[in-house]
Amino acid sequence: MAEAVRRLGLNHVVITSVNRDDLPDGGASQFVRCIEAIRAISPHTTIEVLIPDLCGNWDALETIIQAKPEVLNHNTETIPRLYRRVRPQGNYERSLELLKRVHESAPWIYTKSGLMVGMGETDPEVREVMQDLRSVNCDILTIGQYLQPSQKHLNVLNFITPAQFDAWREYGESLGFLQVVSSPLTRSSYHAEQVRELIKRYPR
């Protein structure tokens, strides 16, 4: 992967993986190896990692922090009321705790989270999650429309209007997020290259 970064001349990369709950460190060491390999071959490339909650293994989280990615993304995914259905292995408070710990341990890292909407959440519930994320100093937020990937996944209950996405973006900006990307097609790494410009605009 690192060689591909050099060959393609990438300025910003996003490293992610499926959940690795089968590993003692939740896959943290794999993220670290990827970061180190990219740093060795392309030191000027900014790095964003999109990580799972590591099952609350905060020592594993610290190893990722020590590898010094510029951006650490952990998606909240949904509102607390829907967690049991949408993220049965997840824990809303644990996700907030992860983001909080990153900010406290390494305030120079930009923290990021994302929500998928259209599964029955209400406007006040989404706004409450946005408030919770700002309370742990989350810097960047993405909000996008949930689309059912297969018949085995949850149904789409409603399609959110562009006006509602705009309203959430404006509300998030009023809360103090450095960036809120909110639209039907937004995903975790949507316009990821803009993060590099964000880092330049708000240096730490």
pLDDT at 24 over 90: no
User: Which percentage of the chain shows pLDDT scores above 70?
Assistant: 98
Q: What is the pLDDT of residue 150?
A: 86
Closest by CA to 110, choosing from 74, 61, 56, 144, is 74
Residue range 158-185, pLDDT digits in tens: 999 999 999 999 999 999 999 999 999 9
Q: What is the pLDDT of residue 25?
A: 80
Q: Average model confidence (pLDDT) for the chain?
A: 93
Determine the angle formed by the axes of helices 123-135 and 162-175, rounding to 10 degrees: 30
Question: Domains in the chain, start-ordered, CATH in brackets?
Answer: 2-201 (3.20.20.70)
CA angle 63, 68, 69 (to 5 degrees): 110
Alpha carbon distance 146, 174 (integer Å): 24
Q: What is the pLDDT of residue 72?
A: 97
Residue 113 tokens read as 């989270």
Q: What is the pLDDT of residue 7?
A: 84
Alpha carbon distance 76, 93 (integer Å): 9
Report residue 161: phi and psi, to 5°.
-75, 150
Which residue's structure tokens are 């949408």?
86
Alpha carbon distances (Å) from 161 to 49, 58, 118, 134: 30, 38, 10, 24
Report residue 112: phi and psi, to 5°.
-145, 145
